[in-house]
Structure 1
Amino acid sequence: MKIGILGGTFDPIHFGHIRPALEVKQQLALDEVWLMPNHIPPHKQGTHVSTQDRLAMAQLICDELAGFKVCDIEAKRQTPSYTAKTLSQLNQLFPEYEFYFIMGMDSFLSLNKWYQWQQLFSLCHIAVCKRPGWQLTDQEPIQALLKHHLHNSDKPSTAGTGEIFLLDVAQQDISSTAIRQQLQQGNIPTTTMPKSIQEYIEQHQLYQASSSAQSK
């Protein structure tokens, strides 16, 4: 089976996560996409709601979309969620699967700063989604890496790991930060999140300013 892995804080999960994942699933003919919320993000100060809430919101999305599942391997970990460690563990648990790690161009540009990043090419393929405002130039250090590992679309992929798939997806300028700011102001951003996520956030009074939360 070909499995796409989309990790992140999902704080909260929104269409900027979901729609690219759907497009990658279709373009690469993936059997499943696993949404993987992390517990302790290595590059951020922390999250704004609990791991349980973020897992629950990811599960709501998976309940709605065929071929989507929640992977809680990082959510259960009490140490920072390093991708190389996670992919190594997933390969041990599911040696018969072929993994495709999904990331945006902004993350890909800093890949050579990730923990044990070289190991990724022996553990998975990498699917890179283009994002608004990001493009790869010849001056980027990561360009040489891309040229070495870039999948040749004229030939079928035969390697089980180590290829980079550079994918065009519908660009959306949506951020969890902007969504949280709207929610703190008492506004529900209906165009950026599925209704099930909006309802979960309202029901559990998440991302509210303290004064707003206390008034309910």
Structure 2
Amino acid sequence: MKRIAILGGTFNPIHNGHLHLARQFASLLEAEQVLFIPTSVPPHKAAPDLAEAEDRVAMCRLACEGTPYEVSDLEICRGGPSYTSETLAALKRRYPGYELCFIVGEDMFLTLDRWREPERIYALATICAAPRSAYGLARLEQYAKKIAASGAKTILANIAFLPVSSTMVREAVRDGKDIRGLVPAGVATYIEKKGLYRAVRCNTEQ
């Protein structure tokens, strides 16, 4: 069965670690296609300095220029909280006959049973994960056994961790540091031109 690798997230902003993970899993899975899907509203964490959706999509597209990867605005167009179960169901309808491979990092993988409709997620996609720490693989393997009892299919890969995060990028921007070693050049230029992440925006919604 042909495979599609899917990376979802806020991508606030997308960085070289995301692309590294995509490259490694695309090769491992022999994926026909790789999709980056920026969230509309992240349901699992607060994001007071979240860039506008159009900016995050634009940065993802810049990061994927010159690669075989694609960016989907599926969750942005749907609006509201971006629930993975709904996204995977929509992708399953769009790509019948393909195996969906949903890629997550160590931290998110270890919370899967607390996501909305976890059993539906397990039924729709194979969950792929890589460690972010020296002892991460053992934790992933233990957790994979736990969720297998609920029907989860998993692929774990001991991919070398690239030590970069979106938080690191945003903090570097606020500190006036060069971020060109953390994100693709086009993304760095976009952040500079748009003035993104120079200050944390206060969330005034009640």
Describe the shift of the 1:77–1:3 C-alpha distance in structure 2 as closer, same or farther (beyond 3 A). Answer: same
User: Deviation per CA, 1:119-168, whole angstroms, max 9, x where unpaired?
Assistant: 11211111111212552557x9735335659xxxxxxxxxxx95211112
Q: Give the alignment's TM-score, normalised by structure 2.
A: 0.87
Larger radius of gyration: 1
Matched, 1:163 2:165: no
The secondary structure found in structure 2 opposite 1:76 is helix
Q: Which residue of 2 aligns with 1:196?
A: 186
Check the 8 A contact 1:185/1:209 in 2, yes or no: no
2:5–2:33 CA contact under 8 A, matched in 1 = yes
Question: In structure 2, what residue type is equivalent to 1:65?
Answer: T
Q: Superposition pairs for residues 199-214 of structure 1, below 5 Å?
A: 199-209=189-199
Contact 2:62 2:187 in 1 (8 A): yes
Spell out structure 1 runs of 4+ moving beyond 6 A.
Answer: none
State the shift of 1:16 in Å: 1.3
Structure 1 residue aligned with 2:56, among 51, 54, 57?
A: 54
* Secondary structure in 2 matching 1:165: strand
Name the TM-score, length of structure 1 as normaliser. 0.83
Distance in 2 of aligned mates of 1:146 and 1:170: 24
Aligned mates of 1:192, 1:91 — CA distance in 2: 33
CA shift at 1:192, angstroms? 1.1
CA distance in 1, matches of 2:19, 2:95: 24
Asked if the contact 1:105/1:134 (under 8 Å) is kept, the reply is: no
1:98 corresponding residue in structure 2: 99
- 1:172 aligned partner, one-letter code: L
RMSD: 2.4
Find the aligned partners of 2:128 and 2:144 in 1 and give their Cα distance.
Answer: 15
Structure number with greater CO (CA < 8 Å, separation at least 6) is: 2
Which residue in the other structure is 1:45 paired with? 46
Superposition map of 1:110-125 within 5 A: 110-125=111-126
Q: What is the count of residue pairs matched by the alignment?
A: 198
Partner of 2:9: 8
Could you tell me the percent identity over the aligned residues?
A: 34
- 8 Å CA contact 1:132–1:172 kept in 2: the answer is no
Q: Structure 2: which 5+ runs fail to align?
A: 201-206
Indicate conservation of the 8 Å contact 1:12/1:54, yes or no: yes
Alignment-mate amino acid for residue 102 of structure 1: I
Q: Secondary structure at the match of 2:37?
A: strand
CA contact (8 A) 2:113 2:147 kept: no
How many Å separate the matches in 2 of 1:74 and 1:133? 33
